[in-house]
Amino acid sequence: MQLSVLAAVTLLGLAVSDAALAELQRAPSQQPQGAAANAAPAMIVAQATTPPDPNAVEATDVYNAKVKANLEAVEARNQAALANYQAQTVIFEAQKKANEEAYAAQLAAHQAQVDAQQRKYEADLASWQARVLACKNGDKTQCAQ
């Protein structure tokens, strides 16, 4: 109902503003003088207080209902799009967390493999150095293995 009242007030305002604009646009030579000059504002006031045409009000109500329905449809689409976006964000964040956890697990496994290789290298190097030292000290069984 508020929309139809607003439309009626707008229509009245347009009628008044059209009449007032016509009065203002007249050339100075066409401006009424004396009593006729005072009659123009009274005519504008009379037009403003004339009740609106019931058919125009009904047409305005129909138009306002269509506008309201379109706005509600847009709002519903926006809400659905927002819900869809939020659901996709939740899925994305869950996948991102799963990817981070999988990467951390792979990185830990790789680091464990690197550490094992480093320990084996250090053990092999220490064994080789011990054999070289034993060979240099005369234990020929340790030479050139």
Contact 12, 48 (CB under 8 A): yes
Query: What does pTM read for this prediction?
Result: 0.45
Say how far apart CA 97 and CA 91 lie, in whole Å: 10
Q: Which two tokens stand for residue 7?
A: 């439309």
How far apart are alpha carbons 117 and 59 in whole angstroms?
A: 85
Q: Where are the domains of the chain?
A: 1-52
**Would you say residue 27 has pLDDT above 90?**
no
For 87-142, the pLDDT digits (tens) are: 999 999 999 999 999 999 999 999 999 999 999 999 999 999 999 999 999 888 88
